[in-house]
Chain A
Amino acid sequence: MSTKYETVIGLEVHVQLNTESKIFCGCSTEFGKEPNENTCPVCLGLPGTLPVLNKKVVDYAIMAGLALNCEIAEYSKFDRKNYFYPDLPKAYQISQFDLPVAENGRIEIETDEGIFNIGVTRVHLEEDAGKLIHEGSIDKSKGSLVDYNRTGVPLIEIVSEPDMRTPAQAKAYLTELKMIMEYLDISDCNMEEGSLRCDANVSLRPVGQEEFGTKAELKNMNSFSAVEKGLEYEVKRQRQLLEEGGEVVQETRTWDESLNKTISMRGKEEAHDYRYFPEPDLVPLEINEAWKEEMRKEIPELPREKYKRFVSELGLPEYDAGVLTGDKDMAVFFEEVLKDYDDPKNLSNWMMGEFLRLLNENNHSPFDSGVTPLNLARMLKLIDEDVISGKIAKEVFEKMYNSGSDPETIVEEEGLKQISDEDELENIVDGIIAENSDAVEDVQNGKDRAIGFLVGQVMKETRGKANPGLVNQMLRDKLMD
């Protein structure tokens, strides 16, 4: 019988923090500026310059650590990671080696296979490097240009334990991390812009074996789908190797999106010796209880807790709760509406239906549209109070979305109020009965579905304004006694 293998995955995730200024100087971190516009002698590493730690960056790292259930270090320090590269102006990166800001955390994730706890080994602070720019491809370009705008932008690196067993779990973990960072509002978490970056360690071992197999480090996965595809490819590659009696080599591999495969970048022998040593230009970081508590207060309800509460307290289906909490603004908007409206399921249907459709169409986030939480609550009440029909409501909602008006004004100005007055409907209903003798006959012969057709005709005649329940009742009264 052939050996069964188990996949072991650990992720190293870099998250760019969205502080206004860089980690060790006063330069702006704004994305998309002219090359080298956001630079100064300090972040350019000019001789004689010295780093000064931006406190906000530490605030954010403490928040991240707490949100990932880590222990926050009372005493932490910075170290230099030495290597030569043109985008690294000091030829060392200020990072943290043996005393990171936070350690020993964990987060809960959920996949189709169930709920898993993934360990977080550490969260440490470091500075980002610059960017090399080439004309055409790197090997055809006449030279390299360097943009140091990104140099010194604060990063946290979040290292997981090798606790994931499938690419789907890895994706769920990464998604959960992204959501947590978004809820904390400490990062834009945009993989395409590079504010969220993910490297993976992948290995296989026979099921039941405790010892890890030889791992490959996977880089350059620049989207969520790339992470999943890259990992799936790598797992398959290693399994095939092992099944054919081969051996996995310890190496760094890069995910090639165009070729849809991973390619060897460098072997173990070429691995860097970073010669870490304590950064003498910075004093050690001491984080006392008061600072920690101050940061703890800044942490909002996190996505996983919110999800659970939406299910247990609001009675939402898990699917709804997942979609709503999957985007922080969506969840916040939802809860804002609930302050003025008390049917969570009905609200959820609207948000996940019409609202989400329009948001996607317009590439908006919930607070970008003309719909305010209060106006949505008022519109839902208009439906519940039979002032407008559900169908008309869609029209009203779209007008709210585009104009920012409140629902009552729209209903008033457009004359969309539901007709619930029997006297007003009497003539129209009688007219429809007179014009549709076939359907009337069907109804009288017990074909109940024909009632629906007649209701539809009345609705058409009233341009959707008739109260469909009332029309239905009136038709039954007239035709069935």
Chain B
Amino acid sequence: MNIYDLTIHELKDKIAAGELTPAEIKNAYSDRINEVEDSVKSYITVTDQLADQGLAAYEKKKDGLLAGIPIAVKDNMSTDGIKTSCASKMLENYKPPYDATAVEKLSEAGAVIMGKTNMDEFAMGSSTENSAFFNTHNPWNLNHAPGGSSGGSAAAVAAGECAAALGSDTGGSIRQPAAYCGVVGLKPTYGMVSRYGLVAFASSLDQIGPITKDVEDSAIMMNVIAGHDPKDSTSIEGKKEDYTEYLKEDVSGMKIGIPEEYFNLDFDKEVKESVMAAVEKLKEAGAEVETVHMTDASYALAAYYVIAPAEASSNLARYDGVRYGLRSEHASDVSEMFTNTRHEGFGDEVKRRIMIGTYALSSGYYDAYYLKAQKVRTLIKDDFDRIFNDFDLIVTPTAPTTAIELGSKSDPLEMYYTDIFTVPINIAGVPAMSVPCGFDSNQMPIGLQLIGPHFGEGKIIQAAYTLEKLLNIKDKRAEL
């Protein structure tokens, strides 16, 4: 195997055994970036300097969980002195003066930060085609999208341009691209990972999580980034778990619910078959699998497309050209400057959501949209809580199809529908992981979603780890 194909734990083992040095690892990944970046285009910024700094700090941090490990970070997480563009013209030249807490934790753990990855503008999208700069290509088939919005992070992991990456997930933005790119993506419980420094899209839904080559790496990454942060009032206080303790090949007696309403939706037959085959394997390994009934996922999707844009309309109001980022040259007074800056700086999808959100919060419409959506949200939470009274996990597909072709979806509503399986999880605030479960007839990866109760990351990791062993496909890499 190539160095760039290795997982975090494999690289750590090789460093420990003296078979590889952090410098050799870093160079192998840099070479890989040089080799494939032109065709994959995962990165907005390759941060050579930051990587060298990380390498230089190795001796001091060699006990860190990620000492010497090349990691990529989505370009919506603040990096001190390094461009954090959110793939928007608005922030094309914005360099924050501080590090996001998650980035700080990576550095403390000794990570070598390779670069900032491409994404849908302000994390709004499901294919990374909404990046203001360029498309990212799916390493399994360059004509296909990597998914989104963390498409750059998922593609970078799948293409061996980093050992693992951070993504952010508001409605599926970690899990869906992980599924499309054949890697593991975890959206933790809301509040599990600090949002401080994550450029907000929808504050009550956003969550940072790892995208990795396997489940074990996901547990290691969680050990690094999870935990209470006094800078984020919504981050959860409590004892930190060691997620690697859940790396056990054991699902016997684990109760898994299969929501009929989700499987009855209109989606790709090959995806369905692959997921059901994987569920069958879990059953053979001793899991108790049962059909359950849940609220139609389309309600969650409707609520999501009110709540997320509403919060976004407020979160993105600060991009007004006054203090940083783009300022329109074409304005004769301050209100014109606001208008023209926002007109020139935001892409269509961002503008669409700001308008939807502004409308939903407007006086006279608030009760009918925002308030109603919040009520639906409560019902969906209750629905998940109800299932988790009797079940350990819920299994669904991660996405209705495998990776779509670049440029194939122009109708925004059609694009929104690709989040149908992932959105309810953010609405409920529970954790979920996408883990590869097979390939379709075009050799494109398929993802299975494991959903757990609040703080149920451990159970998810245990089931995913078992499934990974049962399926034995985790070493298959995209050929570039």
A275/B234 in contact, CB under 8 A: no
Contacts from B to A (Cβ < 8 Å): 76-78, 84, 86, 91, 94, 96-98, 100, 195-200, 202-204, 230-234, 310-311, 313-314, 317-318, 320, 322-324, 334-335, 338, 358, 361-363, 366, 370
- Please, which residues of chain A bring their CB within 8 A of the CB of B86? 47
Instruction: Report the bound CA distance from A47 to B97 in whole Å.
Output: 11
A277/B199 in contact, CB under 8 A: no
- Please, which residues of chain A bring their CB within 8 A of the CB of B77? 48
- Please, which residues of chain A bring their CB within 8 A of the CB of B366? 275, 277
A48/B317 in contact, CB under 8 A: no
- Please, which residues of chain B bring their CB within 8 A of the CB of A44? 323
A90/B370 in contact, CB under 8 A: no
Given A50-B232, A53-B233, also A92-B314 (CB < 8 A): yes
Among candidates B84, B199, B233, residue contacting A281 with C-beta atoms closer than 8 Å: B233
With A84-B338, A86-B334 already in contact, 11 other A-B pairs whose C-beta atoms are closer than 8 Å: A47-B199, A48-B196, A48-B198, A84-B317, A84-B335, A89-B318, A90-B318, A91-B318, A276-B361, A280-B202, A283-B234
Instruction: Report the bound CA distance from A48 to B76 in whole Å.
Output: 8
B318/A49 in contact, CB under 8 A: no
A45/B361 in contact, CB under 8 A: no
B317/A47 in contact, CB under 8 A: no
Interface check A41, CB cutoff 8 A: yes
Instruction: Report the bound CA distance from A44 to B317 in whole Å.
Output: 14
- Please, which residues of chain B bring their CB within 8 A of the CB of A47? 78, 84, 86, 91, 94, 96, 199-200, 318
Interface check A323, CB cutoff 8 A: no
Instruction: Report the bound CA distance from A82 to B202 in whole Å.
Output: 15
B96/A46 in contact, CB under 8 A: yes
- Please, which residues of chain B bring their CB within 8 A of the CB of A51? 233
Interface check A346, CB cutoff 8 A: no
Interface check A249, CB cutoff 8 A: no
Q: State how many angstroms separate the Cβ of A177 from the closest Cβ of chain B.
A: 30
Interface check A393, CB cutoff 8 A: no
Given A47-B96, A273-B362, also A82-B314 (CB < 8 A): yes
- Please, which residues of chain B bring their CB within 8 A of the CB of A86? 320, 322, 334
- Please, which residues of chain A bring their CB within 8 A of the CB of B311? 277, 280
Residue in chain A with minimal CB distance to B98: A41
Q: State how many angstroms separate the Cβ of B97 from the closest Cβ of chain A.
A: 6
Q: State how many angstroms separate the Cβ of B89 from the closest Cβ of chain A.
A: 14
Interface residues of A in 48-62 (CB under 8 A from B): 48-53
A275/B361 in contact, CB under 8 A: yes
- Please, which residues of chain B bring their CB within 8 A of the CB of A50? 195-196, 231-234
- Please, which residues of chain A bring their CB within 8 A of the CB of B232? 50, 52
Given A41-B97, A84-B320, A86-B322, also A275-B358 (CB < 8 A): yes
- Please, which residues of chain A bring their CB within 8 A of the CB of B91? 47
B96/A91 in contact, CB under 8 A: no
- Please, which residues of chain B bring their CB within 8 A of the CB of A82? 313-314, 317, 361
30 contacts between A and B (CB under 8 A): A41-B96, A44-B323, A45-B318, A45-B323, A47-B96, A47-B318, A48-B78, A48-B196, A48-B197, A48-B199, A49-B196, A49-B197, A50-B233, A51-B233, A52-B232, A82-B317, A84-B320, A86-B320, A90-B318, A91-B314, A92-B317, A275-B361, A275-B362, A277-B361, A277-B370, A280-B202, A280-B204, A280-B234, A280-B311, A282-B233
B200/A91 in contact, CB under 8 A: no
Instruction: Report the bound CA distance from A89 to B199 in whole Å.
Output: 15
- Please, which residues of chain A bring their CB within 8 A of the CB of B231? 50, 52
B324/A46 in contact, CB under 8 A: yes
Chain B facing A: main interface SS: loop
Instruction: Report the bound CA distance from A90 to B234 in whole Å.
Output: 19
Residue in chain B with minimal CB distance to A46: B96
Instruction: Report the bound CA distance from A276 to B320 in whole Å.
Output: 19
Q: Mark A250-292, 1 if CB is under 8 A from B, else 0.
A: 0000000000000000000000010111001111000000000
Q: State how many angstroms separate the Cβ of A87 from the closest Cβ of chain B.
A: 9
Q: State how many angstroms separate the Cβ of A56 from the closest Cβ of chain B.
A: 16
Interface check A171, CB cutoff 8 A: no
Interface check A144, CB cutoff 8 A: yes
Q: State how many angstroms separate the Cβ of B373 from the closest Cβ of chain A.
A: 11
Interface check A219, CB cutoff 8 A: no
Instruction: Report the bound CA distance from A283 to B233 in whole Å.
Output: 7
Residue in chain A with minimal CB distance to B339: A84
Q: State how many angstroms separate the Cβ of A76 from the closest Cβ of chain B.
A: 14
- Please, which residues of chain A bring their CB within 8 A of the CB of B318? 45, 47, 89-91
A48/B320 in contact, CB under 8 A: no
- Please, which residues of chain B bring their CB within 8 A of the CB of A52? 230-233
Q: State how many angstroms separate the Cβ of A60 from the closest Cβ of chain B.
A: 19
Q: Mark A79-97, 1 if CB is under 8 A from B, else 0.
A: 0101010100111100000
Given A46-B324, A48-B199, A52-B231, also A90-B317 (CB < 8 A): yes
- Please, which residues of chain B bring their CB within 8 A of the CB of A53? 233
Interface check A146, CB cutoff 8 A: yes
Q: State how many angstroms separate the Cβ of A146 from the closest Cβ of chain B.
A: 7
Most chain A CB neighbours (cut-off 10 Å) among B77, B197, B198, B322:
B322
Instruction: Report the bound CA distance from A276 to B310 in whole Å.
Output: 11
B320/A91 in contact, CB under 8 A: yes
Q: State how many angstroms separate the Cβ of B375 from the closest Cβ of chain A.
A: 13
Instruction: Report the bound CA distance from A48 to B366 in whole Å.
Output: 26
Residue in chain A with minimal CB distance to B97: A41
Interface residues of A in 215-242 (CB under 8 A from B): none
Q: State how many angstroms separate the Cβ of A94 from the closest Cβ of chain B.
A: 11
Instruction: Report the bound CA distance from A283 to B190 in whole Å.
Output: 13
- Please, which residues of chain B bring their CB within 8 A of the CB of A273? 362-363
Q: State how many angstroms separate the Cβ of B48 from the closest Cβ of chain A.
A: 23
Instruction: Report the bound CA distance from A276 to B366 in whole Å.
Output: 9
Q: State how many angstroms separate the Cβ of A180 from the closest Cβ of chain B.
A: 30
- Please, which residues of chain A bring their CB within 8 A of the CB of B334? 86, 144
Residue in chain B with minimal CB distance to A24: B233
- Please, which residues of chain B bring their CB within 8 A of the CB of A276? 361
Which 8 residue pairs of A and B lie closest in terms of their CB atoms, listed nearest first? A91-B317, A280-B203, A275-B361, A280-B204, A47-B199, A48-B197, A48-B78, A48-B199
B314/A275 in contact, CB under 8 A: yes
Instruction: Report the bound CA distance from A273 to B314 in whole Å.
Output: 13
Given A47-B96, A82-B317, A86-B334, also A277-B362 (CB < 8 A): no
Among candidates B198, B230, B314, B358, residue contacting A80 with C-beta atoms closer than 8 Å: B314
- Please, which residues of chain A bring their CB within 8 A of the CB of B198? 48
Instruction: Report the bound CA distance from A51 to B318 in whole Å.
Output: 15
Q: State how many angstroms separate the Cβ of A371 from the closest Cβ of chain B.
A: 47
B323/A281 in contact, CB under 8 A: no
Instruction: Report the bound CA distance from A82 to B360 in whole Å.
Output: 13
Q: State how many angstroms separate the Cβ of A479 from the closest Cβ of chain B.
A: 87
A48/B100 in contact, CB under 8 A: yes
Given A41-B96, A51-B233, A283-B234, also A277-B324 (CB < 8 A): no
Q: State how many angstroms separate the Cβ of B166 from the closest Cβ of chain A.
A: 13
Interface residues of A in 273-328 (CB under 8 A from B): 273, 275-277, 280-283
Instruction: Report the bound CA distance from A84 to B100 in whole Å.
Output: 26
A48/B314 in contact, CB under 8 A: no
- Please, which residues of chain B bring their CB within 8 A of the CB of A48? 76-78, 84, 96, 100, 195-200
Q: State how many angstroms separate the Cβ of B105 from the closest Cβ of chain A.
A: 15
Instruction: Report the bound CA distance from A279 to B313 in whole Å.
Output: 13
- Please, which residues of chain A bring their CB within 8 A of the CB of B96? 41, 46-48
Instruction: Report the bound CA distance from A17 to B196 in whole Å.
Output: 27
Residue in chain A with minimal CB distance to B324: A46
